[in-house]
Structure 1
Amino acid sequence: MSEEAPLKDLVRALLVLRRYLLRILLLLFLLTLGFLWTAPRLLLWLEGHFGQRLAFFGVAESWLAVLKLALILALTVAFPLILYLLWRALSAVYGLSWRSGLALVLGGSLLFYGGMTFCFFVSLPYGMRFLLSFGRGELVPTISVGHFVNFVGLFLLAFGLIFEVPLLMMLAARIGLLDPYKAARFRRHAILIIAILAAVLTPTPDVFNMSLMAVPLYLLFEVGLLGARLLRPKSS
């Protein structure tokens, strides 16, 4: 098999996935409309949970913040279905079994929600306290509701997707795009990339909070290598 064959198969899988794009967008639209009723109450709960008094500085800013929060909820709820459609597209090209589809949906969902949970209870509280600690004396923080939703939503989704690293590595090994034995030789490069990601995704620049992101990421990388070896033996 030529080295270009896996890439051609991946392109074919992406073309198949494009057929499901309209279904995904329609589902997100309907879920967003449904969550518009609960998003305002969730926003109030988030405001109290993080101990912030939010303000808005534009006529439509508050409504747009609720709309964005509803979309974030829709993406969160629809993520397992997106994984299922991804498996359908890959299965059409690579002939993946239903067991692999079940593992993809369940494992990917657990990692995604686990990443969001880690961010919500560990990274975000520490980050917000650190950033708002500069508001002393005459510096009184006034947080825009739009910026608050952007900040919280971006980090929650980013952490959820970053935690998919082991699944993506195992999936890439399964379809022939990743050789885990070669990838293991680039641990130093992986550590550098993880450090950069931790610096970008962690809301605070201190070493402690960066390590809260970097250490789990490196462990996920090692888990991905182990799982990829199991799916692609060294002799292949």
Structure 2
Amino acid sequence: MALRRAKRDPEGRMTLGAHLRELRNRLIIAGVALLVAAVPGWVFYKPLIAALSAPMMRRGGQLNFANLTDPFVVQLQVALFLALILSSPIWLWQVWAFIVPGLRKNEKRVAALFITCSVPLFLLGCWLAYNTLDAAVNILLGFTPSVGDNIIDASFYLKFVMRFILAFGFAFLLPILLVALNMVGVLPARTMLKGWRWAVLGIFVFAAVITPTPDPWTMAGLALPMCGLYFAACAVAAVLDRMRARRRPDWADDVADDEASPL
């Protein structure tokens, strides 16, 4: 089935059907990229699972494959996990291009810059999570009484690790989401700055929920970088708002919101 690209309206307007077709095409592209990127994860499964289980093994824990199909299921999970990371440049671009269609020339430059930044941000979040994982596992297994052993279900442990790493990665995409909302006119920079206290509170609550350990250091390790990224997004949104204000016709400043324009 050929992926036909519909002609875009100069002002970025699309019909509902065109939106659905574009969503389908972008999902297909992202899905194909995910499947292709799963091949290295399948091939290099053994060193990958060794790296992911290292924090638990250092505490004397062991992975348990309880069912006959568990080794295959776990290998498939690890392959798809690595695929999601390796294919991030493609699916991030597909998401961005779908959310912010019909950009003007100046905005396209900013969009290209931020989609270029989104991949390193996602990978940085994953890297930070992996480096935090050792402390998180150490704290959680530290509650094990001396009469017990840590024989952990392999599928359960890997789901926990993968969700932990991906949660950090997606959390670091916060500024990309905020800038995208600003570009489509939903979230002005003034609104973002006005609500910064609630945003910081929400970030710390999110970090507390997403980090599985009771210590404040793991939470702060996620929340503080997210706060910095939030204010960086505010700065970029302010620049974009100024760019749009320069293009705004002079008569628009004299027209009330509930009054018809001269056009």
Question: Which of 169, 192, 195 is matched with 1:186 structurally?
Answer: 195
User: What's the Cα RMSD here?
Assistant: 2.8
Question: Do 1:84 and 1:101's aligned partners in 2 also have CA atoms closer than 8 Å?
Answer: no
1:167 maps onto 2:176 in alignment? yes
Q: Which residue of 1 aligns with 2:92?
A: 83
What amino acid is the match of 2:166? Answer: L
1:100 maps onto 2:114 in alignment? no
Q: Percent identity?
A: 25
- 1:84 CA drift (Å): 2.5
- TM-score when normalising by structure 1: 0.85
Q: Distance in 1 between matches of 2:16 and 2:209?
A: 29
- Give per-residue Cα distances to partners, 1:135-186, cap 9 Å, x unaligned: 1311221111111210111111111111011122122212212111112111
Question: Do 1:13 and 1:90's aligned partners in 2 also have CA atoms closer than 8 Å?
Answer: no
Q: Distance in 2 between matches of 1:205 and 1:39?
A: 31
Q: Which residue of 1 aligns with 2:210?
A: 201
Change (3 A) 1:82 1:43: same
- 1:190 CA drift (Å): 1.0
1:156 maps onto 2:176 in alignment? no
What amino acid is the match of 2:220? Answer: S
Change (3 A) 1:165 1:94: same
Q: Distance in 2 between matches of 1:14 and 1:230?
A: 31
Question: Which of 83, 100, 124 is matched with 1:114 structurally?
Answer: 124
Q: Could you tell me which runs of 5 or more consecutive residues in structure 1 were left unpaired when the two chains were aligned.
A: none
1:223 maps onto 2:229 in alignment? no
Deviates more, 1:35-44 or 1:66-75: 35-44
Change (3 A) 1:8 1:204: farther
Q: Radius of gyration: which is bigger?
A: 2
Provide the aligned length of Structure 1 versus Structure 2. 231
- Give per-residue Cα distances to partners, 1:104-154, cap 9 Å, x unaligned: 332000100011111111x21111110000113112211111112101111
Q: Distance in 2 between matches of 1:186 and 1:98?
A: 27
Q: Which residue of 1 aligns with 2:78?
A: 69
Deviates more, 1:159-168 or 1:7-16: 7-16
Runs of 4+ residues deviating >6 angstroms: 5-12
What amino acid is the match of 1:110? Answer: P
Q: Distance in 1 between matches of 2:125 and 2:171?
A: 7
Q: Distance in 2 between matches of 1:9 and 1:107?
A: 30
Q: Which residue of 1 aligns with 2:22?
A: 16
Report the secondary structure of 2:185's partner residue: coil
- TM-score when normalising by structure 2: 0.77
The structure with more helix, counted as a fraction of residues: 1
Question: Do 1:83 and 1:104's aligned partners in 2 also have CA atoms closer than 8 Å?
Answer: no
What amino acid is the match of 1:35? Answer: G
Question: Do 1:116 and 1:159's aligned partners in 2 also have CA atoms closer than 8 Å?
Answer: yes
